[in-house]
């Protein structure tokens, strides 16, 4: 049975912003003022203080890329499903990007979008809670579209233009991405069954040996799967389980 009525399309309304510090910050402020509701999307041409996972920054050249935050209201979903939502959004971004970049597109745990061994984008979800109630999620998505030069401190960035040789309209792509987000989010609302299966199937380095670092220990391990809790399972001399931020990939 559905958990709630089928939600309205994401990206309605679709609001374009010339410049903001962070689309997630802006969206969060609108939610807290009661000025935005489920489905509202904010696209920014320029972001001066973009946020990545675990306090990292996300830098982007003005007008070149897809910078989007969408407000979701999970309804009566429990917070224990928060990683399932993350997987849902990652699946949507994967499907969208694969349409243009082809089958070398992958999802790197927990929620980066990769093409071959290079990062093309990432997802940051910030939840609004009241005691144990999950009121809203602010879904921030950044994808490299037309940018061809990057900060030297970034290890392995790549853009859609570098992959395909083509220029794109980031606003039109963001609106198209909202269609993918809508379709995948509707699955999240009515079933759990195949979301994690799809996520694992498209996982970067699945069943491959990778070098990782945890604390002061560096070792090789093989990527096995991601659990509903969001933990990454690997195996080498033993099976291991990692939470977000516990390991660093060495690429």
Could you tell me if 38 and 72 are in contact, meaning their C-beta atoms sit under 8 angstroms apart?
Answer: yes
Greatest alpha-carbon span in the chain: 53
- C-alpha–C-alpha distance, residues 165 and 56, integer Å: 29
CATH superfamily of 14-201: Bira Bifunctional Protein; Domain 2 (3.30.930.10)
**CA angle, residues 60, 63, 67, in degrees to nearest 5:** 60
Domain ranges, ordered by start, for the chain: 14-201, 209-249
DSSP per residue over 189-214, as a string?
A: HH--TTHHHHHHHTBTTBT-EEEEEE
Per-residue model confidence as pLDDT tens for the chain (251 residues): 344 455 679 999 999 999 999 999 999 999 999 999 999 999 999 998 765 544 444 557 788 999 999 999 988 788 889 999 999 999 999 999 999 999 999 999 999 999 999 999 999 999 998 888 899 999 999 999 999 999 888 889 999 999 999 999 999 999 999 999 999 999 998 877 799 999 999 999 999 999 999 989 999 999 999 999 999 999 999 999 999 999 999 87
């Amino acid at each position: 049975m559905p958990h709630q009525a089928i939600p309205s399309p994401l990206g309605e309304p679709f609001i374009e912003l010339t410049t903001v510090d962070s689309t997630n910050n802006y969206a969060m402020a609108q939610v807290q003022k009661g000025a935005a509701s489920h489905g509202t999307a904010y696209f920014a041409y320029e972001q001066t203080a973009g946020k990545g996972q675990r306090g990292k920054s996300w830098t982007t050249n003005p007008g070149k890329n897809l910078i989007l935050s969408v407000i979701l209201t999970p309804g009566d979903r429990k917070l224990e499903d928060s990683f399932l939502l993350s997987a849902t959004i990652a699946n949507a971004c994967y499907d969208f990007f694969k349409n243009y970049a082809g089958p070398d597109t992958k999802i790197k745990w927990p929620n980066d979008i990769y093409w071959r061994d290079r990062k093309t984008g990432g997802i940051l979800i910030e939840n609004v809670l009241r005691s144990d109630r999950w009121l809203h999620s602010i879904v921030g998505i950044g994808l490299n579209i037309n940018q061809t030069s990057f900060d030297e401190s970034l290890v392995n960035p790549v853009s859609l233009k570098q992959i395909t040789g083509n220029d794109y309209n980031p606003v039109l792509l963001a609106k198209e991405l909202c269609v993918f987000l809508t379709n995948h989010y509707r699955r999240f609302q009515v079933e759990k069954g195949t979301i994690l299966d799809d996520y694992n199937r498209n996982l970067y380095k699945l069943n491959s040996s990778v070098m990782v670092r945890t604390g002061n220990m560096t070792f090789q391990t093989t990527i096995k799967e991601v659990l509903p809790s969001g933990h990454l399972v690997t195996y080498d001399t033993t099976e291991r389980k990692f939470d977000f931020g516990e390991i660093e990939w060495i690429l």
